[in-house]
Structure 1
């Protein structure tokens, strides 16, 4: 998908990002603990696109410690009582907001994190842009053909019919990624290996830096 003209073109694209600190920080020669933030691998795609499978494979292939924080785990922690339909949108929004802040907190503590996300509502990406250090985010587009998404949705049976189709035109609307995978033809292990190989060679500015400049211009610029 083409990048919007409002998004600044990358300057100095040959520049390379430094690798993230190990989770939890590392002791320096002087005995002090390194408190630099961790790296966030941000997987974005529709329901049934394979994000969770890629996240599990990433934990198997990445050398440094990473935590997989799936949003489904946060939804599963809510009480099981049936919510008033009028209150459900607010409950879901608060859950997503809390999830974003939990991810930000883990990364701020020096932990590397794998996130699987669905940017299907307009407010979610701007919220993340204001919370996550943009240079420490690898934004991964997880794509899949609609036909295959619908086949998977029917096969798994635990998602509302038509959910992937409703999300399909919205999830990738921002149009910009650091790296993309297409699970129509590539399996989760192949995608994870591609992402892992990409990490040491990430160009600057990152997709999150460029999106932050375009969508959250009121935020202070990232230091060079």
Structure 2
């Protein structure tokens, strides 16, 4: 088999940044793209929301629209990785089905699950400064987003900068341990 075909068959690595809204996931992802040696794509869920038409969904429609968007996003990430691309993802595991869906789609050995932590007071302040999130979103997610409890590496965005967190993740990648957090979570969910 030619080398190019063999390379295309290899799956890419998924660096999954999980944290509450406004915790700094996108900032870490941008820094990661600057510091990682290999080529990576940043796939933020917010980009998928931005691609949707601007027609306002009714309150009855909105949960279905959001769920379909998130399911499609999960499959787009899986597709990029299956194509051999390395991906940095930022998303919020604030609902149990999101984790289950990803466990079914992502090759667990190829996922580095990163916990992005931030104090509730800091999240509230960042949310107010941003002004582009529903009020109280971060607080609603705060107790849910890390409920699964397992990570390969964790970062504290209350006390560290996005660049420091990116370096911590970068330094972790060549010395990943197995089973991965996703492998352990998959074993528990069976």
TM over 0.5: yes
TM-score, structure 2 as length reference: 0.97
**TM-score normalized by the length of structure 1:** 0.82
- Residue 56 (structure 1) aligned with residue 56 (structure 2): no
Among 64, 74, 78, the residue aligned to 1:104: 78
Question: Which residue of the partner structure matches residue 15 of structure 2?
Answer: 41
Ranges in structure 1 where 5+ consecutive residues have no aligned partner: 1-26, 218-224
Which stretches of structure 1, 4 residues or longer, exceed 2 Å deviation after superposition? none
The structure that is helix-richer by fraction is 2
The structure whose Rg is larger is: 1
Q: Can you list the C-alpha shifts for 1:128-181, whole angstroms capped at 9, x where unaligned?
A: 000000000000000000011111111111111111100000000000000000
Runs of 5+ in structure 2 lacking a partner?
none
C-alpha distance after superposition, 1:71-117 (max 9, x if no partner): 00101111101112111101100000000000000000000000001
Query: Does 1:86 pair with 2:60?
Result: yes
Structure 2 residue aligned with 1:152: 126
Q: Deviations over 1:44-86 (max 9, x none)?
A: 0000100000000000000000000010010111110111211
Match of 1:15 in 2: none
Match of 1:117 in 2: 91
